[in-house]
Structure 1
Amino acid sequence: MRKRSLLVTASLAAPMLMTRRYAAAAQRGVLRIGYQKASVTLVLARNKGVFEQKLNRLGYDVDWAEFTSGPPLLEALNAGAVNFGFTGEPPMIFAQAAGAPIVYVAATNPSPRAVAILKPAGSQLRSVHDLAGKKVAVAKGSSAHYLLAAALATAGVPYQQVTKIFLQPPNARAALSSGDVDAWSIWDPYYAGAQAAGAQVLTDGTGLMPNRAFYSSTRDFATRHPDALKAAIDVINQVEAWEAQHIAESAADIAPQIGLPAPVLKTWFDRQKYGVYGLTPEIFVGQQKIADAFFKLGLIPNRIDVSNAAWNA
């Protein structure tokens, strides 16, 4: 009788145990990370599996999606295809102006030398002033888009006097090489790759823009999953600390994913500054300046207060 009782108890317990397991699985969250080739820390972190190690312990799975630039990444964020991403300064502004429920989670150190306006080898262009009446390739709504606007304003060239050819980086590089455009406004590592192939610098972002990058999420995800976002920033800081001390190794590690030789990537790393920080009033002052410039140029439909998109952890 005791043996039958134990068998009955076990038969009843098994479905209950499976039900609990399925319930636990259903309750697991998912951190869907959007990244670009420019987000070297995220590429390194993906290679090393460190997000999975940290987030799995908190009950989250991790998915990854690669994008060519910030604007399509934020479109995916707005659509729910990703819930954590890395972009430059302007994409956040364009997304907020379009009504996307995005929030700033953290910011990087400024790296103004990591974005530039390039001309092809042998070009007769001598300065940004010479871009009047010329065609410039640029990704619309990107950090390079703001660099172009700021550089033209500083040189006294009306924005409308330059023909903007809106292209994503791979197509823009081809257009520069073929002579279909006169210049290309672009960020690293594409900048370093074009430079290694002979392109020359008209100007970089020094004195024109901070060129920060931002980690972002949606208001809903940030409200419901602050633990996942805090853990993600912890992971990023750990990877950045390692990366800063192992530049050559980092370049060799991510070269296959980026599609550029390690020495070219090292040029990029030498131009960027490491460190990820919480949001400060100074950061939002810089963002507001960019947003106001885009509004005056008619590139966004309304004036926005960028600080309204801050995430209070």
Structure 2
Amino acid sequence: MLDRRNLLAGISTSLALAACGRGIGTNADVLRVGSQKGGTKALMLASGALDGAPYKVEWSEFPAAQNLLEALGSSAVDLGLVGDAPFQFAYQAGSPIKAVGAQRSQARFPGALSIVVPAASPIRDGKGLKGKQVATTRGSVGHYLVLRSILDSGLTPQDVKIVFLSPSDSRAALQSGAVDAWSTWMPYIAAAQAEGDRIVVDGRQFSQGYGFEIAAESAIANKREQLADFLRREAKALTWADGHVDAFSAVLAKETGLPLDIARQTAEKNLRSRVPIDQAVIADQKVVLETFRRFGEVKSTRPLDEAFVLDV
């Protein structure tokens, strides 16, 4: 069994936002891109997709979508990839951001989004969460999964106590017994399984598999050409990753500190392709938004159609 402290340190440490603490940037020669741990940065470096780009990419890394969205909302970074649930959560909270690109998982991979429990836990499925405490990050895909699991299991919002924590704090809480379960995503799931934890709710049946490239409104106004070029290069990188899992995994392990086997699991379960933002994609997002609204997590009525830019 891997050493817990060393393994989780490699994927849960929140990197300082030194590169994104410079306020609103309009320098067209620099595109400031946020990346979640094991996300866009590793993909673009591994594929070489940025070779010859007519601008400099300045990277900042974040442990979760919530932190990345906060940086986008304050125009501390220009662009970043997040899941559909955190995007809807942040947008409805009034953040000055819009989706300029969309990606979708090529298949529903087991365990890419899941609720995990310690090996000795008596919990076996979603119904077993009744009366239990589940850790996750507020507004995340993990948060969305807990809500959908409650509905699917015939439970009420009062039946499950959701404890909002960062990924690293969630893991610590699960290890100490302060919470009973953790709703999370890759690569955290692979690391937890390597330590003996097991999945009790697999998110495949609930997740639509979308990720969105989110841009600050200031970047849309001032760096539209750079955004469009980056998205084209990223689409090529996604195609490259599909045929070069080993090479991608090696760079992913180096960038994140993950053991190579866990990096490979992460790479395999995050194979995606670019899809156009059209009315069908927007309609799919109503499911996410209405789930948050049903539980009172979102109260605003900001028009969903206005969250997307169709022509970048």
TM-score of the superposed pair, with normalisation by structure 1: 0.85
Distance in 2, Cα, partners of 1:49 & 1:251: 14
Match of 1:82 among 77, 80, 105: 77
The residue that corresponds to 1:23 in the other structure is none
Match of 1:270 among 268, 271, 274: 268
Q: CA deviation at 1:48?
A: 6.3
Distance in 1, Cα, partners of 2:285 & 2:158: 23
The residue that corresponds to 2:99 in the other structure is 104
* DSSP-derived class of the 1:176 partner: helix
Q: CA deviation at 1:144?
A: 0.8
**Which structure is richer in relative contact order (CA contacts within 8 A, separation 6 or more)?**
2
Distance in 2, Cα, partners of 1:32 & 1:142: 22
* DSSP-derived class of the 1:299 partner: coil
Look at both structures and tell me which one has the larger radius of gyration over its CA atoms. Answer: 1
Q: Is the 1:251–1:262 contact (alpha carbons within 8 Å) kept by the matching residues of 2?
A: yes
Amino acid at match of 2:50: F
Distance in 2, Cα, partners of 1:242 & 1:209: 24
**Residues 7-28 of structure 1: CA deviation (Å, up to 9, x unaligned):** xxxxxxxxxxxxxxxxxxx964
**Residues 198-252 of structure 1: CA deviation (Å, up to 9, x unaligned):** 1111121122121321111023321332211111111111211221111112111
**Residues 47-89 of structure 1: CA deviation (Å, up to 9, x unaligned):** 66643631xx2xx332111111111111111111001011111
- Say what the alpha-carbon RMSD is for the aligned residues: 1.9
Amino acid at match of 1:214: F
Amino acid at match of 2:195: A
Amino acid at match of 1:51: L
**Change in 2 beyond 3 A, CA 1:46/1:250:** closer
The question of 1:228 aligning with 2:218 is answered no
Amino acid at match of 2:89: F
The residue that corresponds to 2:32 in the other structure is 32
Match of 1:94 among 89, 93, 108: 89
Q: Is the 1:115–1:211 contact (alpha carbons within 8 Å) kept by the matching residues of 2?
A: no
**Change in 2 beyond 3 A, CA 1:223/1:27:** closer
Structure 1, gaps ≥5 residues long:
1-25
The residue that corresponds to 1:237 in the other structure is 235
Amino acid at match of 2:299: P
Distance in 2, Cα, partners of 1:267 & 1:105: 28
The question of 1:176 aligning with 2:171 is answered no
Q: CA deviation at 1:99?
A: 1.3
* DSSP-derived class of the 2:114 partner: strand
Q: Is the 1:90–1:141 contact (alpha carbons within 8 Å) kept by the matching residues of 2?
A: yes
Q: CA deviation at 1:160?
A: 2.4
- After the TM superposition, which segments of 4 or more aligned residues of structure 1 sit over 6 Å from their partners? none
The question of 1:256 aligning with 2:254 is answered yes
* DSSP-derived class of the 1:51 partner: coil
How many corresponding residue pairs? 283
Q: Is the 2:277–2:310 contact (alpha carbons within 8 Å) kept by the matching residues of 1?
A: no
Q: CA deviation at 1:297?
A: 1.0
The question of 1:43 aligning with 2:38 is answered no
Distance in 2, Cα, partners of 1:244 & 1:182: 36
The question of 1:70 aligning with 2:61 is answered no
Percent identical pairs in the alignment equals 31
Structure 2, gaps ≥5 residues long:
1-25
**Change in 2 beyond 3 A, CA 1:225/1:160:** same
* DSSP-derived class of the 1:103 partner: strand
* DSSP-derived class of the 2:272 partner: coil
